[in-house]
Chains A and B, each alone.
Chain A
Amino acid sequence: MTLLYTEVEEELRTAVRDLLADKAPVAAEGENPAAWHGLARDIGVAGLLVPEDLGGAGASAREVAVVLEELGRAGTPVPFLTSSVLATRVLVDAGYADISRLASGEATAALCVSLAASPYRDVPAAVVDADPAAGQSAVAAAVILENERVSGRFTGVAGALGADLLVVPGDGGLVALVESAHARIEPVVSLDVTRPLATVTFERAPAMVLDGGSVPDALLFAAGLLASEQVGIAEWCLAATVGYLKERRQFARPVGSFQALKHRLADLWLEVAGARAAARNAADQLAAGGDARVAVAVAAAHCGEVAVRAAEEALQLHGGIGMTWEHPIHLYLKRAKADAIAFGTPGDHRTALAPLVGLPGPE
């Protein structure tokens, strides 16, 4: 194992960074099809987690993490996390044979769980073949899956707008796959304008039922990798702020020469250095395939808070310009704050650590 980057990972980073510099030079809201096509078709990021015999690259969480760092830094709205990481992970797990569509990036998928879902709690899942005799009434269940038709409503779903396939969690370790044409997908006005949410409603939509595909495992996997996106966000905020404080002059000197500000940035730099180590560790442990729960929880707890603090510090230290819609800081702040809720809050991850590290709660 290593917490550094391999040569292959550095090459992947350079390719992604160069492409984003060309197709998505500044963070912006709204989809960026040119960037996505370049990432998916030219670099092949959409198939990183898909085995080679199914049309993918057979790469690991370590490479995915590098891509997420760059996407976090660039603030580019592309469905990599939602489709190529979260949904793909579930579908690969479930043995979905036709996944080459996703691996090539020509189609994208979204997992129908709230972005705010925690890996440590049950997510709303479709009740499969509800049996009134057993007390499971189709009416009482929020979502039902019966005779390969799914009905129900999912809120807070990221990546659903523009997705071709929707993955519906079912109980008993099943998932159902629905073409998005059979769903009603309504946009929600979202805090993070670069990753907007939607409400997805199914009414007896035809579904392909797959056996297997653990949603909690996929959420934990995504939480551990989201830490790398958060590292990218924090790095951009730190670099932008350092650059600005070197240029901006008040009291006849660069404001970056005042110790009161330098010390804040030194502390932030240290937190980002720690975030990078924790995120690398989580990616490495997820790639190794063993029990990565501690590594994921540590990375998610630390990186989530660091990204938010970096964006908040960036805003404050840019002064009034940080409050303007024109400057991209607000996009990073909104992304960072939303990311700190996605797949469990830092507090959820710390709480999950208690039994794992020998710090049980009060009785």
Chain B
Amino acid sequence: MVDATTVRQRAEAFLAEHDPSGLSPLDWLRARFDAGLAWVHFPEGLGGLGAPRDLQGVVDQLFRGTPDNNPGRIGIGLGMAAPTILAYGTEEQKKRFLRPLWTGEEVWCQLFSEPGAGSDLAGLATRAVRDGDDWIVDGQKVWTSSAHLARWGILVARHDPDLPKHRGLTYFVCDMEDPGVEVRPLRQITGEAEFNEVFLTGVRLGDDLRLGEVGDGWRVAQTTLMNERVAIGASGSPRRTMMGVFTEAWQARPDLRSHDLHRRALELWVQGEVMRLTGQRLREQLLAGHPGPEGSGMKLLFARHHQEVSALEVEFLREDGLTYDDWTFRRADGVDFLGRGAGYRYLRAKGNSIEGGTSEILRNIVAERVLGLPAEPRTDVAAPWKDLPR
């Protein structure tokens, strides 16, 4: 097993040989990938050293100030596509996709949700029909962040409607440059468009773009979703928090304080601190090799806290709370919680309990997988998908 000393030596040797000022940022990132210092827990030859995941911190600390791959822009690739490709991809697929994914040359998006399949993802209707060595894909996907920037998408489609819903799914890498892919921005309540509708019309995908076996789509998608939750649950504490922004506003405007607001602010401060400690304990468990079930709950805490703090902030600001910074319909690269106004925070936080699994679905997951409570009786699991009422 590669230990911290080895990782440190490799990283120091790399820095000695590769002066960031002597290479273009992209060339420097490619060299870093080839040296196994991109994600040390990945295998050798695929940007890693086969080291324990927590040793990444050693590299990140040494590489501070060097060119980065803009992780905010390629979050779906890093957090969801990469672990799925690693788990289910062929050697050719791993070689083809992982390097440009990590360097940021190729952006990825996630083609999972549909107008008719949100929480019930396994009920999705996008069809993939075999055509010789290819697949022809038709359907509509929605809530697709970064689709307008993406070179590739991770796609779940139905290859056999005669099978029960979970068994008729196959997982693909979708070529976003195919002429049958149409991306339309979807304006959201904040005024801007973070995500898109994606229309897939006769999209032709080679069978070499299939990830996992035919019919294995649900299992492969679970890997993607599990990694999404780990990414959300285990992410480090941001330097500035929503509560920090509120506290600054509170300190700046003593004239707006009231006893009622004060009581609620203190409750939320405690809630935020408990959430921070819960996340810290979760990360300690992950590092100790005992991933705790807290991960599935962190997103619930985070959604509620963001919503309650941002709602209190708008109320606290009174007349300023009646204003909004910018309703312009434009593309947004990501979520700018702390750079925008209180109204934006309030509206954008509403999405926190919907995106990446609604809070209701997450409560079911906690209740069934953590507490072991029985599932609701279901009638949609065994029947052929085509016979389900819609």
**Contact status A362-B259, CB under 8 Å:** yes
Cβ contact of A362, chosen from B258, B277, B364, cutoff 8 A: B258
In the assembled complex, which residues on chain B have CB atoms less than 8 Å from the CB atom of A360? 251, 254, 257
How many residues on A have C-beta within 8 angstroms of the other chain's C-beta atoms?
44
Contacts A262-B373, A266-B363 aside, 10 further interface pairs with beta carbons under 8 A come to A257-B376, A258-B376, A262-B363, A262-B371, A266-B300, A274-B277, A277-B277, A302-B270, A362-B258, A362-B262
Say whether, besides A262-B368, A265-B367, A281-B277, A2 and B373 are in contact (CB < 8 Å): no
Interface core residue of A2, A242, A269 (most chain B CB under 10 Å)? A269
In the A-B complex, list the 10 residue pairs whose CB atoms are closest, starting with the nearest. Answer: A262-B367, A277-B277, A266-B366, A362-B257, A266-B363, A257-B374, A3-B281, A274-B274, A350-B266, A256-B373
Segment touching B, from A9-17, A52-60, A142-150, A351-359: A351-359
Question: What size tier do the contact residues of chain B reach?
Answer: 35 or more
Cβ contact of B364, chosen from A262, A273, A280, A347, cutoff 8 A: A262
Interface core residue of A242, A273, A275, A347 (most chain B CB under 10 Å)? A273
In the assembled complex, which residues on chain A have CB atoms less than 8 Å from the CB atom of B247? 357-359
**Contact status A263-B301, CB under 8 Å:** no
Residues facing A in B272-291 (CB within 8 A) are 273-275, 277-278, 280-281, 284-285, 288
16 contacts between A and B (CB under 8 A): A2-B284, A4-B284, A246-B373, A254-B374, A257-B376, A263-B364, A265-B367, A267-B363, A273-B278, A273-B294, A347-B263, A350-B266, A350-B269, A353-B266, A353-B270, A357-B247
In the assembled complex, which residues on chain B have CB atoms less than 8 Å from the CB atom of A294? 273
**Contact status A363-B267, CB under 8 Å:** no
Closest A residue by C-beta to B283: A3
Interface core residue of A3, A259, A274 (most chain B CB under 10 Å)? A274
Closest B residue by C-beta to A297: B270
**Contact status A256-B374, CB under 8 Å:** yes
**Contact status A277-B364, CB under 8 Å:** no
Query: How many whole Å from B243's CB to the nearest CB in chain A?
Result: 9
In the assembled complex, which residues on chain B have CB atoms less than 8 Å from the CB atom of A351? 266
Over the window 229-261 of chain A, the binary record of Cβ atoms lying under 8 Å from chain B Cβ atoms (1 yes, 0 no) is: 000000000000010011000000110111100
In the assembled complex, which residues on chain B have CB atoms less than 8 Å from the CB atom of A246? 372-374
Considering the chains assembled together, what is the distance between the CA atoms of A275 and B294 in angstroms? 12
Instruction: Tell yes or no: B370 within 8 A of A by CB.
Output: yes
Over the window 347-390 of chain B, the binary record of Cβ atoms lying under 8 Å from chain A Cβ atoms (1 yes, 0 no) is: 00000000000001011101110111111110000000000000
Closest B residue by C-beta to A303: B274
Considering the chains assembled together, what is the distance between the CA atoms of A253 and B377 in angstroms? 9
Instruction: Tell yes or no: A113 within 8 A of B by CB.
Output: no
Cβ contact of A273, chosen from B250, B297, B367, B376, cutoff 8 A: B297
Considering the chains assembled together, what is the distance between the CA atoms of A257 and B373 in angstroms? 6
Instruction: Tell yes or no: A298 within 8 A of B by CB.
Output: yes
Considering the chains assembled together, what is the distance between the CA atoms of A297 and B284 in angstroms? 23
In the assembled complex, which residues on chain B have CB atoms less than 8 Å from the CB atom of A2? 284
Instruction: Tell yes or no: A335 within 8 A of B by CB.
Output: no
In the assembled complex, which residues on chain B have CB atoms less than 8 Å from the CB atom of A275? 274
Tell me what chain B mostly uses at the interface: helix, strand, loop, or mixed: helix
Closest A residue by C-beta to B255: A363
Query: How many whole Å from B356's CB to the nearest CB in chain A?
Result: 17
Query: Count of A-B contacts with CB under 8 A?
Result: 133
Closest B residue by C-beta to A279: B277
Query: How many whole Å from B242's CB to the nearest CB in chain A?
Result: 14
**Contact status A278-B372, CB under 8 Å:** no
Instruction: Tell yes or no: A270 within 8 A of B by CB.
Output: yes
Over the window 286-327 of chain B, the binary record of Cβ atoms lying under 8 Å from chain A Cβ atoms (1 yes, 0 no) is: 001000001001001100000000000000000000000000
In the assembled complex, which residues on chain B have CB atoms less than 8 Å from the CB atom of A269? 297, 366-367, 370-371
In the assembled complex, which residues on chain B have CB atoms less than 8 Å from the CB atom of A259? 360, 363-364, 376
Query: How many whole Å from A228's CB to the nearest CB in chain B?
Result: 14
Instruction: Tell yes or no: A361 within 8 A of B by CB.
Output: yes
Considering the chains assembled together, what is the distance between the CA atoms of A310 and B300 in angstroms? 18
Instruction: Tell yes or no: B265 within 8 A of A by CB.
Output: yes
Interface residues in chain A, defined as those with a beta carbon under 8 Å from any beta carbon in chain B: 2-4, 242, 245-246, 253-254, 256-259, 262-263, 265-267, 269-270, 273-278, 280-281, 294, 297-298, 301-302, 347, 350-351, 353-354, 357-363
In the assembled complex, which residues on chain A have CB atoms less than 8 Å from the CB atom of B277? 3, 274, 277-278, 280-281, 298
Considering the chains assembled together, what is the distance between the CA atoms of A270 and B377 in angstroms? 25
In the assembled complex, which residues on chain A have CB atoms less than 8 Å from the CB atom of B368? 262
**Contact status A270-B270, CB under 8 Å:** no
In the assembled complex, which residues on chain A have CB atoms less than 8 Å from the CB atom of B297? 266, 269-270, 273
Query: How many whole Å from A66's CB to the nearest CB in chain B?
Result: 15
Query: How many whole Å from B302's CB to the nearest CB in chain A?
Result: 11
In the assembled complex, which residues on chain B have CB atoms less than 8 Å from the CB atom of A281? 277
Query: How many whole Å from B360's CB to the nearest CB in chain A?
Result: 7
In the assembled complex, which residues on chain A have CB atoms less than 8 Å from the CB atom of B263? 347, 350
Query: How many whole Å from A120's CB to the nearest CB in chain B?
Result: 14
Considering the chains assembled together, what is the distance between the CA atoms of A137 and B259 in angstroms? 39
In the assembled complex, which residues on chain A have CB atoms less than 8 Å from the CB atom of B377? 253, 257
Considering the chains assembled together, what is the distance between the CA atoms of A275 and B262 in angstroms? 23
**Contact status B266-A242, CB under 8 Å:** no
Considering the chains assembled together, what is the distance between the CA atoms of A76 and B237 in angstroms? 39
Closest B residue by C-beta to A242: B371
Say whether, besides A246-B373, A362-B257, A298 and B251 are in contact (CB < 8 Å): no
Query: How many whole Å from B309's CB to the nearest CB in chain A?
Result: 12
**Contact status B375-A257, CB under 8 Å:** yes
Considering the chains assembled together, what is the distance between the CA atoms of A298 and B288 in angstroms? 26
Considering the chains assembled together, what is the distance between the CA atoms of A351 and B270 in angstroms? 11
